[in-house]
Structure 1
């Protein structure tokens, strides 16, 4: 894996996203490379990566799915009881998931958000460790929003693209996903509504994620 020597962002071409997802699963859930299954992503986050997963409101508009915290410090979160934002101290290796934001979609969104944040910790923590030297009070973190952040930096844009691309590949690893698609009878150019629903249930992801993954694998 090559890194940008100045920023410590990993260089990951899109055609290597599947390989990175398989590398992750080989380390933390090798069984998923052998048979189709729902990835226990919260278990992996907590017990394999050692991350503290907390469910807390992150914004009034419910437009932030999750956040990964890379250094101890202050993070602004939303307090719905008081209808205002509050500054709280969090430890590094913490993932914050907004339950209301992910509830607006489905369980698959929560799992994808968890996988997304795991990718940030797995591949991007060196970048944020270097950034933490510039401020010891404010925590270094990345926010994952429903839509792109305004004023996002080029570095952040690269890392977001990597996490968005790799996360669903962790939840639906290529070889076993193709095997499962064959089992449920996915046919090219067919509507496949029932088969897609079965795949979504099998991998515990959204139907939209399944459709995208089927296209990526050349099955639709």
Structure 2
């Protein structure tokens, strides 16, 4: 079995652990040896029988013996995900792609390294999912759409055909993206929003139809 370590201890990280356990029910594939998290309060604790081994920088100690998957990336820090992963100094080749057994992924889709696809998500033909993307339960990525590195697609999102999602974007729960729309990097789409037009980078969009709420302050990146 591959030894695997999960970055983070939040909700997405527990969902990843749950997916690993479901994968193992079908075929023993992974041994989850621990979590890594910069929050000192959780070091040494056990979450669902798996120990929190220490901070992200400790990944270097395991990078020749373990594989990794990232669960860090919330509405408050989604635009920092690339830097968080870089901090670990783990090469892309050591990141594992986790796909829940209930996810429906087309044989004609491409899935990058370190990407996570959770329960009942659908990835259609010719869709391209890049590296370190997380797709939460019941979301749909339609044909010919592209999701670039480090983006987070939360639960129940509907991405129509031919959409391009830029790097480090966050699509809120039950949001919908019209076909052929392009969303610029570092943008956030609020929950339940309906995006009908292209979105410039660093934008926070809300509503039906979605309107810009404000621009992300680049100093926060």
Scaled by the length of structure 2, the TM-score of the pair is 0.26
Higher-Rg member (1/2): 1
Which structure carries more strand by proportion?
Answer: 2
**Larger relative contact order (CA 8 Å, sep ≥ 6):** 1
